[in-house]
Amino acid sequence: PIPVASYKFNCVDPVNGQEVYDDDGQFVSSVCWRGQSQTLVAANCKGNIEILEMV
């Protein structure tokens, strides 16, 4: 199967404060979307939450 969309979460390493880009071990753990809306809420396994707009 081919993904409909993809998104790389940016997050901050809690130890050194450096910005970390999508690690191979990360995955999306939750997605919420309402049919008539263009807004999508996604959370990854590190606890980061992003509000995205589908265009």
pLDDT in 10s for each residue of the chain, 55 residues: 887 777 777 777 778 888 876 566 677 778 888 889 999 898 887 778 889 898 8
Q: Determine the pLDDT at residue 24.
A: 66
The span from the CA of 34 to the CA of 13, in Å, is 31
Q: Are 9 and 20 a contacting pair, CB within 8 Å? A: no
Q: Domain span at residue 24?
A: 10-53
Q: Determine the pLDDT at residue 47.
A: 79
Q: pTM higher than 0.85, yes or no? A: no
| Number of domains composing the chain | 1
In a domain, 1, yes or no: no
Looking up tokens 């590190």, which residue turns up? 46
In a domain, 17, yes or no: yes
Count of all residues that appear for the chain in the document = 55
Q: Determine the pLDDT at residue 18.
A: 85
Find, among 39, 45, 52, 38, the residue nearest to 7 by Cα: 52
In a domain, 28, yes or no: yes
In a domain, 3, yes or no: no
Q: Determine the pLDDT at residue 39.
A: 93
In a domain, 4, yes or no: no
In a domain, 5, yes or no: no
